[in-house]
Amino acid sequence: MDTMTQLRSRAAAGATPVRIRTTTTPGPGSLGGIALVLAGTLSVQFGSAAAALLFPRAGALGVVALRVSLAAALLLAVCRPRLRGHSRGDWAVVGAFGLALGGMNILFYQAIDRIPLGPAVTLEVLGPLTLSVATARRAAGLLWAALALAGVFLLGRDGLDRTDPAGAAFALGAGALWAAYIVFNARAGARFPRLDGLALAMAVAALVSLPLGAAAAGTTLLQPRVLGLGLAVAVLSSGVPYALELLALRRLPAPTFAILMSLAPAVAALAGFLVLDQALSAVQCAAIALVVTASAGAVRTGTARRGG
């Protein structure tokens, strides 16, 4: 008699059911979600490095307007989201998602206009880390968040002591909105099919950022060279990563996703090294190792909780 037949016989006889412990190895969905987060993080950080090239021409607000508006146009054209049949709650989620998205971009670009990319991302990522700590239900989750936080501070230590206060404040504000973005991104993904919620939220963000960018940069935004680089930034920094993150949040719990966001400073340091020729010190390499270890541990803890 095989195992399944024995279990059915025991159940029919009223015996105590046997619990079969599932494996804690990450499944294809979790691994796919992790890959989506990593790809999105690479895209957005290298896009941010490219955006810095536009600052002398269009300014921070102008770059945000180009990035968000062009990304919104692309997403709306590709997704063609349905506007009818949604509840008032659905539109409230999209509105909050769009405001968080637009505000996060505006504040972050104000930050990197004043302070280097590495310290800016280091401060910004405190938002997702705080979210991870606030939603952690196990001691292991707190441990991984603390380890990631240590790595983040270590990574930005050399530059944070010379950081402009206004730039630091903008980066911290962007981090708070990043945490809100994670929450509303997950809710929009649950309420809207495909990428419809993201496309509509990006349109809201464009309505917020475009008037500010037009007032600051004027007709400079219409120059072919500016438009071309702005389109590249929009694809790298908004369209691709936000789509990947929305898909990832359908496969990963928000706390795990939030700790994975702590990889952003490490990727920003890599982008600075490759694009901006910024060398990595031994301390920065150690910090990156801490952040990567914390992210891997958080993923392991999350998959073990679901598997057990």
Hey, where are the domains in the chain?
29-307
For the stretch 231-283, pLDDT in tens is 888 888 877 887 787 788 778 776 677 667 667 777 777 776 776 666 667 77
Tell me the average pLDDT across 115-141: 73
Residues in the chain: 308
Question: What percentage of the chain reaches a pLDDT higher than 90?
Answer: 20
Per-residue pLDDT, averaged over 195-212, amounts to 93
For the segment 68-79, the average pLDDT, to the nearest whole number, is: 90
CA distance 232 to 224: 12
Instruction: Note every long-range contact of 136-140, with CB atoms under 8 Å and residues 24 or more positions apart, other chains counting.
Output: 136/255, 138/301, 138/305, 140/297, 140/301
Q: Tens of pLDDT along 253-262? A: 766 776 676 6
Q: If you average pLDDT over residues 171-180, what whole number do you get?
A: 91
- Percentage of the chain modeled with pLDDT above 70: 74
Interval 14-40: pLDDT, tens: 444 433 333 334 455 567 777 888 888
Tokens 């990319």 sit at which residue? 117
Question: Which segment, 40-44, 144-148, 170-174, 302-306, is predicted with the most confidence on average?
Answer: 170-174
Kindly tell me the burial class for residue 290, based on how many C-beta atoms sit within 10 Å of its own C-beta (0-12, 13-18, 19 or more): buried
CA nearest 270: which of 108, 49, 53, 115? 49
